[in-house]
Amino acid sequence: MVFIDTPVVELNQHAGIGKKEARNLAVKAARSLYDGKGSDVVILDVGDITLIADFFVIASGSNPRHVQALADRVVYSEDITRKPMHVEGYGLGHWVLLDYGDVVVHVFREEERGFYGLERLWGDAPQVDFEPERRTGGATAGAGTDISNEDAHGPADAGSSDEDPDKD
């Protein structure tokens, strides 16, 4: 057997993209949810503790229509060119799941979020900062957001310019 020296590329097994691109998508989704007045928006880096996805983005809406509107903001965002592979729960608007393979976006009604407690379930996952201070007033971003991983200072290293979440 011959081994060729090639650089190791960290590819996501779900969608075949790199971890930086997955992180970039998670940040864009979180910003979209936050700008839509989603409350307690958090990004969890679950890639090292599960094979389900690399990132979970979690947010709450105040009622079913708000939950649906938040999900729509992510799916139809001009900043996010990818579309989810699967959508669950949109009709009821209590818990909408947008599955991008490497990123799973969970938009809960506040009651369901408290009941299912994904942050407790995935409590070992570090949170990723997405600069929530961009909006003044209204809903809050992840209470006590922990920037515990060294790569959690925004998407500056996120790759190509067409994937840059800071473009206007």
Range of the domain at 87: 19-128
* 94 part of a folded domain: yes
52-53-54-57 Cα dihedral, nearest 10 degrees: -120
* 56 part of a folded domain: yes
* 148 part of a folded domain: no
- pTM of the complete model: 0.70
**pLDDT tens across 37-85, in order?**
999 999 999 999 999 999 999 999 999 999 999 999 999 999 999 999 9
Tell me which range, 26-30, 149-153, 157-161, is most confidently predicted by mean pLDDT: 26-30
List the CATH number of the domain containing 73: 3.30.460.10
The contacts found for 148-154 with CB under 8 angstroms, 24 or more apart, are: 149/45, 151/23, 152/126, 152/127, 152/128, 153/129, 154/27, 154/129, 154/130
User: Residue 130: its pLDDT value, please?
Assistant: 84
* 80 part of a folded domain: yes
Write out the H or E segment, with its range, that includes residue 95. Answer: strand 95-99
User: Residue 156: its pLDDT value, please?
Assistant: 40
* 91 part of a folded domain: yes
d(CA 18, CA 104): 15
DSSP code of residue 18:
B
Which tokens belong to 159?
């790759």
* 153 part of a folded domain: no
Domain count of the chain?
Answer: 1
d(CA 163, CA 99): 19
* 161 part of a folded domain: no
* 88 part of a folded domain: yes
